[in-house]
Amino acid sequence: MSALKWAGPLVLALLALLWLVGTLVSKNAQIETRLKQAELNAQQQVAVIGQIEQRNTQALEEIDRVQRDKADMAARSLVLQRELAQLQAGSVCIDEPVPAAVVDRLRERVTTANAAAGFTPVTPAGPVPDPGL
C-alpha cells in the first residue's frame, strides 16, 4: 500500500517534468530560430557594410583623381601664363589699346559659343570694364 501511496504524486511529478521538458524544448527551438535569424541579419549587414565601404573607397579614389587633375591643370596653366608673358614681352602691340569694336565682337562670339555649349553666362553686378581702353 505504501507504494500506491507514492504512485499518484510520482505520476504527477513525472507529468510535470514532461510538460517542463516540452516547454523547454519549445523555447529552445524558438531561441534557435531567433539566433539563426539574427545571424542572417548580421550577415546581410556585413554585406551592406562591405558595399558601402567599397563605394566609399571608389568615391575617395575619384576625389583623389580629381584633385590630381586639378593640380595638373593649375601647373599647366601657370606654365602657359609664363609662356604667354614671355611671348608678349617683346610685342609692340602689348601696350596698344584694343578697339571697342574688336572687344564687342569677341564678347558676342564668347556669348554665342557659351550658348552653343549650354553654359549659362555669369553676368557681373556692374558694367564690364574694357581691358583695352
Sequential pLDDT tens for the chain (133 residues): 566 777 878 888 888 888 988 898 899 999 999 999 999 999 999 999 999 999 999 999 999 999 999 999 999 999 999 998 888 887 877 778 888 999 999 999 998 998 888 877 666 555 656 655 4
Verdict on whether the full-model pTM lies above 0.85: no
In-domain check, residue 106: no
Q: Domain total for the chain?
A: 1
Flag whether 56 is in a domain. yes
Decide if 127 is inside a domain.
no
Angle at 34 between CA 28 and CA 36, to 5 degrees: 100
**Grid cell 578697339 — which residue?**
99
| Element at 4 (helix H, strand E) | helix 2-89
128 domain-assigned: no
Note whether 131 and 102 are within 8 A (CB): no
Within a domain: 1: no
